[in-house]
Amino acid sequence: MVKANPQFKNNGELKEIILSCMDISPVKKAEEERDRIITLSQDLICIEGIDGYFKYIKPAWEIMIGYSKNELLSQTLLNFIHPDDRSLKEHLNRKFSEGQNTVNFENRFICRDGSIRTILWTATYFKSEKLIYSIGKDITDRKKINQALRENEERFHQLFENMSSGVAVYEAIKNGEDFMFKDFNKTAEKIDQISRDELIGKSVIQKFPSIIEFALFDVFQSVWRTVIPKNHPIKFYNDNRISGWRENFVYRLPSGEIVSIYNDITERILAENKIKFQAMLLELVGQSVIAIDTDGKITYWNKASEQIYGWSTEEIIGKSIFEINIFPKDEMKTKVISEKEFTKVLIPPLRGVRGGSY
């Protein structure tokens, strides 16, 4: 860079010109590097006047919202901001006027094609220049991802809370020596007659002291260490607070937490035991006893029936009572023994024996 410094005589005539030279190559190089960094950066960079107009915009603006540089510089910034976010601009100006030089915020810009982009800003006000220097990041995709995650979490929460099975989530503590409750759904609260708030953050051994004897604790440790899911066979749980037959399936999450999905099958076990007991009694009687379902298919055939009619249990189960012609339909004498399963016990007359009749 050359600087000229003219010198004059007393009468005003030019005496000489003193030239001074300065090498500004390093400065120009630094400016070029600065401009290159700004151009290559994915951030949105702009300078805005207090009159609301852009004074400088990085070329990335044109790519992002689809307007040309001239269009952006010739209109007030508010023309490009989403209507619901325009009041934020007044809030920021008030912050600057109160002496807060740097402000972080986000707002939405309307693109030429009508789409909306969300920008996260860091804006700094230079009072002496009456200019606002801002750097922004386009977080539109991040916001969409976060929204999708929130929706997925809500779907999972609804599924978790409305499952017909009990679900408990545990975190291993002391290297798997114990497990702490992290979550507990509504069905689990009903099964175990205890609220979620009473369990979260508490030891499973503390709250369910018979879990080791029940052998479910060994399954917890195995699944946590090997990451291999396991079924815990049907077993009776009993402590001083609660008891019942339980069936568990345990697996480990990628987070390291383990999940137990379980059902209270006490009613089913009691019903099955009752049926077994009734079946044992039916086997002991000397009279033919047959059970059918609502379609008339045979579901039970006692030993006396085998002896009287000649069909074995294996041959007869699943056949229609009307196919084997033991007796006419209008002569059936029935007794309902389980309305829930619509099972009927038939005591037929002695006719229609296999191979002949009485």
Q: For residue 322, what is the domain's CATH number?
A: 3.30.450.20
Query: Is residue 33's pLDDT more than 70?
Result: no
Are residues 134 and 102 both part of a single domain?
Answer: yes
Q: Predicted confidence band at 99 (pLDDT cuts at 50, 70, 90)?
A: confident
Residues 111 and 9 in one domain: no
Mark whether 146 and 68 lie in a shared domain.
yes
What span, in angstroms and rounded, lies between the C-alpha atoms of 105 and 110? 17
φ, ψ of residue 124 in degrees (nearest 5): -125, 130
Name the strand (E) or helix (H) holding 110. Answer: strand 102-110
Q: How many domains does the chain have?
A: 4
Mean pLDDT of 289-299: 80
The pLDDT of 62-71, averaged and rounded, is 90
User: Is 236 inside any structural domain?
Assistant: yes
Average pLDDT (294-303) is 82
191-243 tens-digit pLDDT: 999 999 999 999 999 999 999 999 999 999 999 999 999 999 999 999 999 99
Question: In the prediction, which pLDDT does 212 show?
Answer: 95
Residues 147 and 59 grouped into a single domain? yes
The domain boundary, picked from 144, 162, 180, lies at 162
**Residues 58, 134: one domain?**
yes
Distances (CA, A) of 85 to 2, 116, 139: 50, 12, 16
pLDDT digits (tens, 9 = 90+) for 112-162: 999 999 999 999 999 888 899 888 899 999 999 998 988 888 888 898 899
354 found inside a domain: no
Considering the domain architecture, whether residues 274 and 249 belong to the same structural domain is answered as: no
When mean pLDDT is compared across 34-48, 103-117, 291-305, 308-322, the lowest value belongs to 34-48
Q: Is 211 exposed, middle or buried (0-12, 13-18, 19+ CB in 10 A)?
A: buried
- Of 137, 162, 187, which residue constitutes the final position of a domain? 162
Q: What is the pLDDT of residue 343?
A: 44
Over the stretch 300-340, which tens digit does the pLDDT of each residue have? 888 888 888 888 989 998 888 878 776 544 444 433 333 34
Whether residue 100 is found in the same domain as residue 187: no
Q: Is residue 155 part of a domain?
A: yes
Looking at the fold, whether 130 and 188 belong to one and the same domain comes out as: no
What is the residue range of 112's domain?
43-162
Residues 103, 28 share a domain = no
Q: Is 2 exposed, middle or buried (0-12, 13-18, 19+ CB in 10 A)?
A: exposed
In a domain, 133, yes or no: yes
Selected residue with higher pLDDT from 100 and 261? 261
72, 101: one domain:
yes
Average pLDDT of the chain is 82
Which of 210, 245, 264 marks a domain boundary?
Answer: 264
Residue 356 included in any domain? no
- For residues 297 and 332, state if they share a domain: yes
Query: In terms of domains, do 157 and 175 share one?
Result: no
